[in-house]
Amino acid sequence: MTKTLYENVENITAVAAALSQFGPKLVEPEKDMMIPYHPGAVKYFKEVGLLK
């Protein structure tokens, strides 16, 4: 799901204005998150270089 969302962010924000702030700039290190990432999201973020 994470991969699909991030790879289609332009399409998503075009039809859902409320998600206009959604995107890679929201990816923070896990230690800074109030809720932990799903393991699949961590794998994707690492694959695309958004997390170390």
Closest to 39 (Cα-Cα) out of 28, 26, 49, 30: 30
Per-residue pLDDT tens over the stretch 3-34: 998 898 888 888 887 787 878 888 999 899 99
Query: Residue 48 — very low, low, confident or very high, per pLDDT cuts 50/70/90?
Result: very high
pLDDT of amino acid 40 = 96
Say whether pTM exceeds 0.85: no
Structural domain boundaries in the chain = 2-47
Distance CA 31, CA 37 (A): 10
DSSP, collapsed to helix, strand or coil, labels residue 19 as: helix
